[in-house]
Amino acid sequence: MITGYFILAQGLNRIYPKVNIELAEKLLEYSGVLLSEYSVGDNLSKNSFVQRNRIQAGLSNCIVVVETDVKRGTMHTVGFAEKNKRIVACLDHPEKYWNEPTTRGNSLLIDKNRAVPIDFGNIDELIQVINSLEVDPPITL
């Protein structure tokens, strides 16, 4: 049984950032897998991270946004999740953080009803909703 996976934004011959090498080895030790749509030796590009996010969203039942600015890569992931009819949940930070650059994306997603607001008081409720999903919706990549 697969216990987890990493989706790489480059070929399987390289883990980026290097600080994740030990984590990748641990994942493989516990029956996890490394996935990539790139050939061995393919290098990173800015677009390859966006494409990786597309796959992450497609393979997930739910995307949980902890913090993001309005124009960060996480917003690409949210868009792909919406396209694939995945649940998008967003940490609803305390009001004093609403105008911080790292939480403006969260505020936007919640204000536009594009994400289910969550906090540490209702995280169990979100987990129950995710676990109640019977079938993954079709993936559009």
- For the chain, domains (ranges, CATH) are 1-44 (no CATH), 61-141 (3.40.50.450)
- Residue 10: pLDDT over 80: yes
Please name the helix (run of DSSP H) or strand (run of DSSP E) that holds residue 63, with its range, or none.
Answer: strand 62-65
Q: What is the pLDDT of residue 19?
A: 96
The tens digit of pLDDT for each residue in 44-93 reads 998 999 999 999 999 988 999 999 999 999 999 999 999 999 999 999 99
- In 3D, which of 58, 66, 53 has the Cα closest to residue 8? 53
The tens digit of pLDDT for each residue in 13-39 reads 999 999 999 999 999 999 999 999 999
- Residue 141: pLDDT over 70: no
> Which whole-number Å values give the CA distances from 113 to 10, 51, 116, 138, in the listed order?
34, 25, 7, 23
> Which whole-number Å values give the CA distances from 55 to 97, 108, 109, in the listed order?
30, 23, 21
Q: Can you give the pTM of this predicted structure?
A: 0.82
